[in-house]
Amino acid sequence: MPISEQRIAHLKGCARQAELLAERFGEDSKSAYLAGLFHDLSRDWDDETSRRYALDYGLDVDERELFGGSGLLHGAVSAHLAGKLYGIGDRQILEAIRYHTTCWLDVDRLGAILMIADVTEPGREDKIKERFREMFQKENIFDILIEVLMLKEGYLQKEGIEPHPRQRDAQRMLLERR
């Protein structure tokens, strides 16, 4: 399926933002760039196409993801596509792509960087950019990730959507580690 020009702009912006964050926080910038570039390969797919792909390829997804639509499912599908179509074999990159929508308990710095870059890439709306500037004053990547997860939870609740349990578990674990 083709990727829209708007999505391509987001992918490029996210890749560049991830690269900059990786440089700041001592992570491999090439891996961060690749994760950002491929994280939304299937984001524009409709729910049924995403679900069919996940079932056809036997992707390891839970029921909430499978029936939660492409908004939840695109992380797993995009990770699979990144490996299948583009030869990405690095487990850390694929895991960051896989869980960028829900987070996970063992989130590492690359995963945190991708989730932050996805929300803060330069093409995002201006009304939340001031909040990003405040977030980026923090010295710990996981403190910034906590802020991003809280933003995502607030957005989802405003939309009447219950956050995935993995997101809540990861947020709780990160707060406990603080």
Domain count, the chain: 1
Residue that is written with structure tokens 């179509």 in the block: 85
Which residues span the domain enclosing 144?
5-177
Does the pLDDT value for residue 122 go beyond 60?
A: yes
Q: DSSP H helical segments within the chain, as ranges? A: 5-25, 29-38, 47-56, 63-67, 70-86, 91-98, 109-120, 129-135, 141-158, 165-177
Tens digits of per-residue pLDDT, 5-14?
999 999 999 9
The domain that holds 88 is classified in CATH as 1.10.3210.10
Tens digits of per-residue pLDDT, 11-56?
999 999 999 999 999 999 999 999 999 999 999 999 999 999 999 9
Q: Take residue 74 and report the two structure tokens written for it.
A: 């695109």
pTM of the model: 0.94
